[in-house]
Amino acid sequence: MKTLLLVSLLTALCKIGWVTAAPIPLEEWADKHPEASKTLGIWVKAHPAAAREFFEWDGHHSARAQEFVTWTIEHPQEHLHLYVREHPGEPYLDAILKLHALAAREFMQWCRNHEPAARALMAHSGGLSWAGHPLYREYWNLEAAGR
């Protein structure tokens, strides 16, 4: 009876956000979110240069990349230009947007369409960067090879 009560209490606390589950290990992310992983791979293949820039941004400024993904999810009707206006002077994002605005908007859509996966990945500092290297490197390396 005590176990059932404890489980019920923890479930309720998780639902209201007072207790959060431990993040899944990065090595398990693609297996736990196969559709999101596949779709992210398609995005990387379509936008290899932008993907490389996003991965680098997360690798060097993870907190800022996490903020971008969180904002994107929590503002599902807002456009990219509003984020930029609310967060001026973000050097990596500003550079990305100069050449890759379409890819950035598509990445935002991926975050919104795959919210649990995006949150799980970004729960780790450098999670997006980590995923970019072992999971999708072959796609953005094609661009470097001139393919």
Query: Which pLDDT tens digit goes with each residue over 59-97?
Result: 999 999 999 999 999 999 999 989 989 988 887 888 888
How many domains, the chain?
Answer: 1
Per-residue pLDDT at 128 exceeds 50: yes
Q: Is residue 13 part of a domain?
A: no
Asked, for residue 10, whether it belongs to a domain, the answer is no
Residue positions counted in the chain: 147
Question: In terms of residue numbers, what domain contains 73?
Answer: 27-144
Q: pTM value?
A: 0.79
Residue 5 lies in a domain: no
Per-residue pLDDT band for 17 (boundaries 50, 70, 90) equals: very low
- DSSP letter for each residue of 40-100: HHHHHHH-HHHHHHHHHHHHH-HHHHHHHHHHHHH-TT--HHHHHHHSTT-HHHHHHHHHH
